[in-house]
Amino acid sequence: MNKRTLYIILAFLVLLILSYLNYKKNALFILDGFTQGTTYHIVYKQPYSPGFFLNRNIHDYQEEIDSLLMEFDMSLSAYLPESVISRINNNDKDVKVDSLFSKVFYKAKEVNEISDGAFDITVGPLVNAWGFGTELREKIDSALIDSLIQFVGMDKVQIENERVIKSDPGVKLDVNAIAQGYSVDIVSGFLSNKGINNFLVEIGGEIRAAGTKKRGTPWKVGVDKPYDYNFIPGQDLQVILTLEDNCMATSGNYRKFFEENGVKYSHSINPKTGYPVRHNLLSVTVTAQDCISADAFATVFMIIGLERSKKLVKKLDGIEAYFIYSDDKGDFCAEFTDAFREIIVEVPE
**Greater pLDDT, 55 or 342:** 342
- pLDDT attached to residue 261: 74
The tens digit of pLDDT for each residue in 17-44 reads 444 444 445 567 899 998 888 899 999 9
> Does the structure show a pLDDT above 90 at 56?
no
- pLDDT attached to residue 9: 47
Cα Rg, the chain, nearest whole Å:
24
In terms of phi and psi (left: phi > 0; alpha: psi -120 to 50; beta: otherwise), the region of 91 is: left
Task: Please state, for a pLDDT cut of 70, what percent of the chain lies above it.
Answer: 87
- The confidence band for 232, taking pLDDT boundaries of 50, 70 and 90, is low
Summary mean pLDDT of the chain: 88
**Greater pLDDT, 252 or 115:** 115
Structural domains present in the chain: 78-166 (1.10.3980.10), 218-346 (3.10.520.10)
How crowded is the C-beta side of 242, counted as CA atoms within 13 Å?
14
DSSP for 171-186 reads -----TTTHHHHHHHH
- Rounded (10°) angle between helices 306-313 and 291-304: 140
The tens digit of pLDDT for each residue in 185-231 reads 999 999 999 999 999 999 999 999 999 987 788 999 999 888 776 66
Would you say the C-alpha torsion 132, 135, 136, 142 has a positive or negative sign? negative
Read off the pLDDT of each residue in 94-111 and give the average, rounded to a whole number.
Answer: 98
Name the residue among 212, 194, 183, 185 with its Cα closest to residue 59: 194
Contact criterion met (CB below 8 Å) for 24 and 55: yes
Dist. CA 347–CA 349, nearest whole Å: 6
The tens digit of pLDDT for each residue in 233-255 reads 667 788 999 999 999 999 988 77
Name the residue among 273, 347, 329 with its Cα closest to residue 305: 273
The tens digit of pLDDT for each residue in 271-295 reads 999 999 999 999 999 999 999 999 9
Read off the pLDDT of each residue in 55-63 and give the average, rounded to a whole number.
Answer: 73
- The confidence band for 53, taking pLDDT boundaries of 50, 70 and 90, is very low
Report field, pTM of the whole predicted structure over 0.75: yes
Dist. CA 284–CA 305, nearest whole Å: 10
